[in-house]
Structure 1
Amino acid sequence: MSVAFVKEESAEAASETVLPARPISGRPNLVTEAGLKLLQDELARAQQALEEASRIEDINERRRQSAVPYRDAQYFAERVRTAQLMPAPASNDVVAFGHKVTFERDDGRVQTYRIVGEDEANPAAGTISHGSPVAIALMGKSVGDVVRAGQHELEIIAIE
């Protein structure tokens, strides 16, 4: 078909509707109960937005409004499918997935983080991914152990 017969708006809309997939790390998709619920809720939200967008009559606008929910629905469906629900740690002897760990940095700051799944992690809210450098350094260690994370040393002072 000649370009003369294609609306410019349609070509523009088509390019806006193909978004790259959200990246998924190669790490195991470990989740807490709250993390699994978060993934399920996000999947439901994306599916609802996709359903709402499908009711838009103008095809170009429907494509634009569907792009993000479609990408998100694919991402969250895969994350729910691959989720490995981890039980709460049975002991507070050594740092494990799901623990809340308090440590003192070599600069004197004391910080507390809970080690959770990648999608649940939010350092500002006190959670870090099990794949983060700090969590990797802390895993398997006990109270009193000193670990190196980047250029800092961290001393574990509590495990909950």
Structure 2
Amino acid sequence: MSRAFVKETDGDLPGDLPELPVSPHPNYVTARGLELLRTRLADAARRRGERDLPAIERAHIEREMRWLRARIESAMVVTPGGGALEQVGFGMRVEIADADDRRFRYRIVGEDEADPERGLISHVSPLARALLGARIGETRVWPRPAGDLEVEVVALDAGP
């Protein structure tokens, strides 16, 4: 009989879990992003220590912990440069405007910290790649699935 039709037990599944994928990009992080990874690892360790945890759940947590350790070990903390803000860089908040003067504010962060709904975009996202290195007043093309959008960099901020 094919294994596809056999009900697995908790004892059979943990070894079958594939590892979580690790990004091929450099693991640039903000100080906040590194702290978030460490907090997630501590939380996972706490969950792993709970009594009567099913084997499959423990396996998921241990896999998550391996992934988090790898991300923490490969993390390269980058802080926005001090002094005058001349161009868009990692960790900076950038305000952009489209042709209709609609404004958008984003902070460029590491992949694990990204949360577009909160204005945190990954440094490898199409928008961040378009903006990195741009100066105030410069226009760049934001490649989007809905169509390219030309945006102008109107402000930069390196603050928290």
Query: TM class, shorter-chain normalised?
Result: 0.7 to 0.9
Letter in 2 for 1:112: R
User: Any gaps of 5 or more consecutive residues in structure 1?
Assistant: 1-7
d(CA) in 1 for partners of 2:73, 2:99 = 40
Does 1:136 find its partner at 2:126? no
- The C-alpha deviation readout for 1:41-81, integer Å capped at 9, x for no partner, is 011111111122xx32xxxx631221221121011000010
Residue equivalent to 2:19 = 21
Residue equivalent to 1:75 = 67
d(CA) in 2 for partners of 1:154, 1:24 = 31
- The C-alpha deviation readout for 1:65-119, integer Å capped at 9, x for no partner, is 2122112101100001000011232241100001100001245421000001110
Does 1:154 find its partner at 2:151? yes
Q: Is the 8 A contact 1:89 1:98 kept in 2?
A: no
TM-score, normalised relative to structure 1? 0.84
d(CA) in 1 for partners of 2:42, 2:72 = 11
In the alignment of these two chains, the number of paired residues is 146
Q: Is the 8 A contact 2:80 2:89 kept in 1?
A: no
Does 1:116 find its partner at 2:109? yes
- The structure that has the greater radius of gyration is 1
Structure 2 SS opposite 1:67: helix
More deviation, 111-120/85-94: 85-94
Q: Once the 2 structures are TM-superposed, how far is the Cα of residue 15 of structure 1 from its aligned partner?
A: 4.9
Structure 2 SS opposite 1:134: helix
Structure 1 SS opposite 2:54: helix
d(CA) in 2 for partners of 1:23, 1:107 = 40
User: Any gaps of 5 or more consecutive residues in structure 2?
Assistant: 1-5
The runs of at least 4 aligned residues of structure 1 exceeding 3 Å deviation read none
Structure 2 SS opposite 1:68: helix
Residue of 60, 72, 79 corresponding to 1:87: 79
Q: Is the 8 A contact 2:10 2:54 kept in 1?
A: no
d(CA) in 2 for partners of 1:43, 1:109 = 39
Residue of 34, 37, 51 corresponding to 1:36: 34
Q: Once the 2 structures are TM-superposed, how far is the Cα of residue 25 of structure 1 from its aligned partner?
A: 1.1
Q: Once the 2 structures are TM-superposed, how far is the Cα of residue 14 of structure 1 from its aligned partner?
A: 3.9
Q: Once the 2 structures are TM-superposed, how far is the Cα of residue 131 of structure 1 from its aligned partner?
A: 0.6
Residue of 4, 9, 20 corresponding to 1:12: 9
More deviation, 88-97/11-20: 11-20
Using the aligned pairs only, state the percent identity.
35
Superposition RMSD in Å = 1.7
TM-score, normalised relative to structure 2? 0.84
Residue of 83, 97, 101 corresponding to 1:104: 97
